[in-house]
Every structure is written in structure tokens, then in C-alpha cells.
A and B are shown apart, each in its own frame.
Chain A
Amino acid sequence: MFMQLDSAVVLAAGEGTRLRPLTKHRPKPLLPAANRPILAYVLDALVDAGIDDLHLVVGYQRDRVQDHVGPTYRGRTVTYHVQEKQLGTGHAVLQARDAIDRDFLVVNGDEVVTAAMVEAVMDAHSETDAATLGVVESDRAAEYGAVRLDGDRIAELVERPEDDSYRLLNAGIYACGPSLLVDIESTERRAGERHLTDAIADQIRAGNTVRGVRIEGLWSTATYPWDLLTVARDLLASGHVDEPERSEGVYVDETASVHGDATLRAPVVVGPDAVIGPGAVVGPDTALGRNTTVDAGAVVEGSVLDIDTQIGSNATVVDAVTGQAVTVGPGATVPGGEADVRVGTTIHEDWRLGCIAADRATIGGGATVEPGTLIGPDARVGAGAYASDIVPEGAEVRR
């Protein structure tokens, strides 16, 4: 029985600690998916699927979310619910409890989904079900919430099982009955947090109907900073980009200024007010955010450059993710390629990553950045210096 839902609760309160240092000033949903925030894709999918009543649970750096989304999104009312402490996804959903009195959707704000997926979940859900989950086939299921199906029922729901036999992952799109709100409250806390998936797992154990619906299409998310490169590649490959297509795979905003002697290699997207100078080569698999600059003769490849980032003349930037307003000086080199990347105490081996440069980091003219380097916010790599491994927030690397 088809069920059109009116309301959706979008979870946008979490920082995404594994995405540090990019999340210093904004939560994960606002990190760039190609040249727009991930959250914009989520909200578009909901609105296109007919959801008129949007509820955003905000917390970590909530000013940024509120400023970006505003009081309504594409004409639909947005109500904000503040989760002061991030005590789990279940706790987040509970913040919107007073606004919900019938079946509703819950969607993660940090995973790119499509309207067709949202519709598929609503199609499969009926009022007699405790919950219905969208599931996606993936060989990386074990890194996310993994799922086993029994027909159209969810038989098992387990977080990061570290067991390669799981082939389906929880896509983070849930249709829920209002009673689930009560169930979340009675769900046992894990490490002080209440999780939506625990509440749903309780429902499965209690024998209530929790459906799983296989959904196809673009589903993409970032766990680690370099995953943003994959997200951008996925979006560009599927043409899921909202800028006008100038030639095949080349998307350029009308307000961008691309010099006649610059080369754009598909797939590539160039955002509003971006500037590309003569002789510059941008792409493939590259997304330039609003107000970015790639100066004369610079080469940018396989990279995501967020708002206000400036690449100096003759610089080379390969496989890099930048935060907002990163400056790369003339002739600087981020050669890209595979590297071992350290996050916290874990070493991730052989990841293709030029560098991560967080908000307002500076790479000086003629500097070289070794593959896999993480540069913190406001950090500086001096002119002609050589940076590798980790450059902490505000630190300076000198020649």
C-alpha cells in the first residue's frame, strides 16, 4: 500500500569526527558533495519525493546549517530542533517528537540520496509496520550499518559488523510509525547514547514488522575526508549536478568566468562566481565551489575545492580536498597519488589522496605537499616548504 508521508526529520546535528579537520567549523552535512553541501542533496530528494514539512535536528555548529538552509527550503517550511548534546541518532529524532503525530520519515543529513529512493521507502511502508528501511547493495556494507533481509523483512541490523559477508547496508532512509518515538525512549542506552538503529533492532526482536526495501541508484557518503573525492566522482559520473551542462560532462555556472584559453576536462563542475585563468587546466573529476579561483597556468585534477579557495598561477593540485578559503600559492605542488594516511591512531594504507587542507589553511608559493598530508584549519605551509603527515591547526611549516 503506497503511503505518502508529509514530514521528514533530517539528522544534521553531528560533527563527523572522522572527517576532521574539515569539520572544525561546520557539521558533516555541510561538507561539499561536488560543489554543493551533502545536505542540499538530501533536502532536494525529500522535496522531490513530495515531503512538505521538513524538520532539521541541528546541534554541532548549528549556525552554519541554519544560515545555509534558511527558514524554508524550496518553499517548504523548515523547523529547527536543537540537540544540545549529541547523544545518538535516537536522541536526535526525539528532539522533533512534539512536531510528529503520524508516520514520518527519518533521513540522515550526511548521505547523498535520491528522490526515487525516498519514494521507494514510502511505497513499501504501511501504517501497520513499525518501520521500513531503505537498503543498498554494497561491498562496503561492513563499514556502515549492515543489514540482512529475509524476504522483505529486515532480519538483522548491525553497526559496522567487521564481517565481509554482509552485502547490504542501511541507507539511512527510514519510514517510521509514531509509536517508534516511544520505543526510542525505552531503548537501552549504549555508552550514554540512544541509537535509532537499536530501537529498530528491538522492534525486530519483538517480532514487529520492520521492512527493508532494496533501493538502487546513487547513494554516496563520506566516512573519511578523502571519501569526499569519491562522492564528487560519483555525482559527476551520474550527472547529478545542478549547474548548466556546457558540453558533455562539463558543468559551469552562468556567473563563473572561464578564460578562453583555459581547459576544462570532463567530468568537471564550476560553481557560481568561480574564476579560471588563461592556460589553467581543470578536471577531470573536479568540483570548484562558489567564488573559487584557479589562476593562470594552474592544474587542478581529481579535487574538490570548497568556497573561496584560491589556487595560484602555475600551481599543481591533484587528488586534494580543501575546506573554505584555502590558499595555494603560485607554483605550489600537491602532486597527489597513493599514500598512507593517519586518522587518530589508525593508519589507512594506500589511499589515493593528494592532501586535505582545512578551512583557511595556506600552502605557500613553491611549497610541496606530500601525498596523504592533513593540513589543519588556519595552518600555514611556508613558501618553498615541504609538508607531510599532519600539520596541526594554526601551525606553521617553514622551509
Chain B
Amino acid sequence: MCGIIGYVGDSDETLGALLEGLSNLEYRGYDSAGVAVGGDDVRVEKRAGQLDVLETALDGRSGSFTGPVGIAHTRWSTHGPPTDANAHPHTDASGRVAVVHNGIIENYRALRDELEAEGVTFASETDTEVVPHLVARALRRGNDPEAAVRAAADRLEGSYALAVVVAGTDALFAVRHDSPLVLGVGEGERFVASDVPAFLERTRDVAYLDDDEFVRLDADGWTVTDATGTTVDKDVRTVEWEAEQTGKSGYDHYMLKEIHEQPRSLRQCLSGRVDELDGRITVEELDELGDPATVQFVACGTSYHAALYGAHVLRSAGVSANAYYAHEYATAPAPVSTADLVVGVTQSGETADTLSALREASRRGAETLALTNVVGSTAAREADHVLYIRAGPEIGVAATKTFSSQLVGVNLLAAHLTDRNERRRDFVDDLRGIANDVQAVLDESMAQAVVEEFLDADAFFFLGRGLDYPVALEGALKFKEITYEHAEGFAAGELKHGPLALVTADTPVFAVVTGKGEAARKTIGNVKEVEARDAPVVVVTDGAAEAGRYADHVLEIPQTDDRLASLLANVQLQLVAYHMAARLDREIDKPRNLAKSVTVE
């Protein structure tokens, strides 16, 4: 959602480091941005709009924005529309306390009423603004700045990562509860941020803060304490990502760059996990994982489609498995026992809904596993087990390479859960070939030409059955989120139970048909149904069932194992969505109203 960053170091560097950090965090949210530079006093500048609006506002005034500490924020609206007033940082009435916040303060209404009753006037509609007023009140009551920030945090319910500066104090205070916060330790400068890329150009040595930990940064160093004030020893570790991995390297968009990275990220995901000579799949991280009675996947968005796919793969292998939306599961969980495994699929490891669902499952005694891309993320730390998909950082809001790696990840999990000593040379062979199969799709895809046919279409439908059903859903989600065109994915069998009413000559239908089994044969039947309504049909297929005969256009994929064919079909649909959005000149990497990782519920 939002992204925050805090800096302590060289006064002349503060503003530059903050703006650099904001630019690196922009993918988390971008309807407003702001900075506050502290020291003897606190100066704030904030603007609705993208980061360049703020940069323009600061142009020529950087001289007055010097000071040893600073905080900054990019915002994605949860409370109140994007306006200058609603942008962070928020301050108290005197302008001596400034706060940036990521998360949602659930009891802000009660706190606001309480403060207003004491005569405090609010300048914005945000939940965050209660924080600077609470800090200011604690200061007025004689607390030192650190104690005042602690006192304010104690009153908050909900999720938050906060960074606070107070005039007259060359220190920065930060605390987290259910929202991510990372400490960065550089030479002569220190950072806190929602995510590592914010400061990766300046330091790679980081410490991840745990829930309710409080950190004080100043010129002398940093101290982390727990909720009771006891000092906590934190491990500082070096992140392996290169700052360079966050640039676009000549591509027009991060999304296209990430689509092209898939052969490499898939090789990385499989490295050391598949033994071709032996025909075995081994995932060291899962050594401690028992044999669950049932498996429940919880996830949101694209990760939910990977979860649906994973549940299907497990069921086909004889393991009882289901996928649930994490936000539904958190409030209405399925029955679960200590014999069961609940798998949270979350790219960032910070998706608030998925964390809640995992916590709920854990509370009910289930074993939990996080399938995630981010080492040290909250999900990775909280779950009993973790399986990393090793896709590397993903900047484009529309998930691409991480989805492909999630699909491989759930296959590794399924292999581990079902007779892990079985030799499966054919599947291992196909897994080792998957990177190149994706390369073949990238090299030869006709997607760019196909979208030219449909620039004036009314709506787009995506059909698939079995393992291709989640791919149809994902294809439609990707398409709608970046093209802003109406797109829906359906289980192919559901077509005649309603959606067929929407099908016309102006609604292209993308049908995913892989393999040559019963599912493919039936989907071809559905293709004929939409053909009969004059809808243009694009078939994404490996050719095994000769589905191309019934299509206006064919997007081909290489033949491989059925489980992996769905992954390849999805790559074609990624390209369809990308090229359509590019043709329509959309803001592909930052679709309107969307953020990369949704860290509030």
C-alpha cells in the first residue's frame, strides 16, 4: 500500500536519500508523496499526485530542507481521497512532530473524538493524523520524545509501521505492528523503510524488525527495544539482491522486463531442488514438514490463482486440498485440525489478509507454511515452514515472474507431500526444460499481432478447465488490471450456466486448451459454443488436442507435462495483456488504484 522511509545521517544528504528512497518505493503506492526533514525544527512538503509533483514543489528549495533526520512517505489511499492535506507526513498543531505511517489505525475514530474533545483541531481526514497529536500531547505532559512516541503507539489498535521526527531532537523513532519495517545500516547513515529496495543503493546490511519492536536511530547508532523497553539484539544480515535488479534495463516497462526474466527466475527456483540423474525432487526447507491429512491454501489476487492451481495438483495426486481467499478465510475459516497444513501463498510475504488467515489457522492448531518470494518477510518468519520461490524482486504491480515461480513452487511442494522418494524422471526432465519452454514462448509468441485485432472489442473472456481454469482467471485479472478493459475469467464448464449471455461478435474469447484429455475435449466443445455466437476465438494451446482448428487465432506453446503446460499458457496471456495495454498506452507498471503488495486488510 503505502511506503515509508526514514533517514539519519549527513544533513546535506537527507533530502536526496529520502527522495531516492521514495522513488524506489513508488511501486507500493503512488497517489501522493511527502517528506519531513527534522533537526532543530521540522519542515514538511507534501503533494497529491505522483512523485514528480513533490520533486517539482521542492525544486530550488533543497537548501531549506537540510537536517540530520528525515522521514518520507508515498501513499495509496485507504482513508480519504488523495489531496495535499491527506498526504503524509502528518504533523501536530505546532508543526514540531511529524509522522509517516503505513497501515490502518482501527481505533482512530475514538482517538480522534478524544483529542477533539480536548480542543485539538484536525487538518486531514486520515487515520494517521491522530499519531502526531498523541505524541504532542505526551510531550506536553512532560515525556521525552522517545517516551512520547512509545506512549502514542501504546494507544493504537490496528496495523502500523510508524516513523516519527520531533523538533529539537536529532533522532528518529520507528515502531511496527503488523506492517513491515526494515532497518538499514550504512556507513555513517541509517535507514528504516517498508521494504529493502528503498535504501539498497546505499546499504545492503539490514535487520528486519519484529512486531511491536521499537527502534531509535541517531548519529551514534541504533537501538532496538521490545514493547517493555528491553533492548533486543538484532541480527544484521546482508541481502543478496543487487540494487541494479530494480532498474528497467532498456525495457519500456518493468512488467516486460520481468516477463523476459522468467527463464532465469525459473532456473533459479529449481536450482539444487531437482536431481535429474536420480529423478528425485528435494526441497531442503521442507525436511521438517510432516504428512498432513488435508492441505488448505490461503491467498489473494494472483497468488490465489496459484493456490487454486496448487490445490488441483495436490488433489490429482490424491491429497485432499482446497484453496480459499485469505480475506474470507480470516473471518470464516474452514474447519481445520492439528493434522492439517495451511499454506499461505504471498509474493511479498506481507499481504495483510494472508497473514491474518495464517494466524487464524495457527491459532486453531494447524501447521502453517508460507510460499513466498521475500526472505525474512513477516509470513516467512511467522509460519512454521517456508518455501521460497526465488524469483528475485518484482517491481511491476502486475505479478508475472512470481506467478510462474509460484506454480513451480506448489509443484515442488506437491512432490514433497506425495511419496517424496518416488523417482519421477519424466517430470524432473520437464521441470528442467520449463525455463527453455518459456524462452520458446517469448521467442515466438504472436500475442503482439493478435491484440491488434481486438482494439475495439467490448469485453474479453477467458476460459479454461482443470489446471487451465486458474490460468483463465489469471489471464483475465492481468488483462483487466493493466488494460482497464473489461475482462472475465470463467471455468469453461460454467459458460452455459450464465456467462454465455454476454458473448457477442465483439467479445473475443481466449480459451486455454492444453493436453489431450477429457478436459481439453470438453473445452473445445465450449469453444464451439462461443464460435456459434460469432465471438472471435483465440486458443492458447500445445496443439495436443488440435484445438487450433476451431480458432480464429492460435497462440502456441511447446508440449510438456500437463502441469507445466498451464504455466506456459499463462506466459502467452501475460504477453497478450502487456501488448494490449502498451497499445492502449496505459501506465503498465502502475495501474490506477492498485498497489504492489496490499499490506492492509
Does A71 lie within 8 Å of B439, measured CB to CB?
no
Does A360 lie within 8 Å of B436, measured CB to CB?
yes
Is the CB of A62 closer than 8 A to any CB of chain B?
Answer: yes
Q: Tell me which residues across on chain A come within 8 A of B435, comparing CB atoms.
A: 291, 308
The residue that A325 contacts in the complex, of B261, B277, B439, with Cβ under 8 A, is B439
Given A277-B277, A293-B432; A324-B439 close (CB under 8 Å):
yes
Given A70-B245, A71-B249; A63-B442 close (CB under 8 Å):
yes
Given A257-B275, A257-B277, A308-B433; A71-B267 close (CB under 8 Å):
no
Does A71 lie within 8 Å of B244, measured CB to CB?
yes
Q: For window 20-76 of chain A, which residues contact chain B by CB distance below 8 Å?
A: 25, 56, 58, 62-63, 65-67, 69-72, 75
Q: For window 258-275 of chain B, which residues contact chain A by CB distance below 8 Å?
A: 260-261, 264, 267, 270-272, 275
Complex Cα–Cα for A255 and B268 (A): 11
Q: For window 439-496 of chain B, which residues contact chain A by CB distance below 8 Å?
A: 439-440, 442-443
Closest chain A residue to B442 by CB distance?
Answer: A63
Complex Cα–Cα for A257 and B244 (A): 30
Main secondary structure of the interface of A (DSSP, over half): loop
Complex Cα–Cα for A325 and B261 (A): 17
Is the CB of A380 closer than 8 A to any CB of chain B?
Answer: no
Q: For window 477-520 of chain B, which residues contact chain A by CB distance below 8 Å?
A: none
The residue that B251 contacts in the complex, of A66, A277, A291, with Cβ under 8 A, is A66
Does A324 lie within 8 Å of B251, measured CB to CB?
no
Nearest chain A CB to B564 CB, angstrom units: 14
Main secondary structure of the interface of B (DSSP, over half): helix
Complex Cα–Cα for A255 and B267 (A): 12
Is the CB of A259 closer than 8 A to any CB of chain B?
Answer: yes
Is the CB of B242 closer than 8 A to any CB of chain A?
Answer: yes
Q: Tell me which residues across on chain A come within 8 A of B277, comparing CB atoms.
A: 257, 259, 275, 277-278, 295-296
Is the CB of B257 closer than 8 A to any CB of chain A?
Answer: yes
Is the CB of A239 closer than 8 A to any CB of chain B?
Answer: no
The residue that B257 contacts in the complex, of A65, A66, A310, A359, with Cβ under 8 A, is A66
Nearest chain A CB to B339 CB, angstrom units: 36
The residue that B267 contacts in the complex, of A80, A278, A290, with Cβ under 8 A, is A290
Does B443 lie within 8 Å of A25, measured CB to CB?
yes
Complex Cα–Cα for A369 and B275 (A): 30
Complex Cα–Cα for A257 and B261 (A): 24
Given A25-B443, A72-B242, A275-B277; A291-B249 close (CB under 8 Å):
no
Is the CB of A272 closer than 8 A to any CB of chain B?
Answer: yes
Nearest chain A CB to B272 CB, angstrom units: 6
Is the CB of B247 closer than 8 A to any CB of chain A?
Answer: yes
Given A62-B250, A255-B271; A325-B244 close (CB under 8 Å):
no
Q: Tell me which residues across on chain B come within 8 A of A277, comparing CB atoms.
A: 277
Does B439 lie within 8 Å of A66, measured CB to CB?
no
Give the 10 A-B residue pairs with the shortest CB-CB distance, closest first: A71-B247, A80-B250, A72-B244, A325-B436, A71-B249, A66-B250, A308-B436, A67-B260, A25-B443, A275-B276
B contact residues vs A (CB 8 Å cutoff) = 242-251, 257, 260-261, 264, 267, 270-272, 275-277, 432-433, 435-436, 439-440, 442-443
What are 27 inter-chain pairs, A to B, with CB distance below 8 A?
Answer: A25-B439, A56-B250, A62-B250, A63-B260, A67-B261, A67-B264, A70-B244, A70-B245, A70-B247, A71-B244, A71-B247, A71-B248, A71-B249, A72-B243, A75-B242, A78-B249, A80-B250, A82-B250, A255-B271, A259-B277, A275-B277, A291-B432, A291-B435, A307-B436, A308-B436, A310-B433, A325-B436
Contacts A56-B250, A80-B250 known; 10 new A-B pairs at CB < 8 A: A25-B439, A25-B443, A62-B250, A63-B251, A67-B249, A71-B246, A71-B248, A72-B242, A255-B272, A275-B276
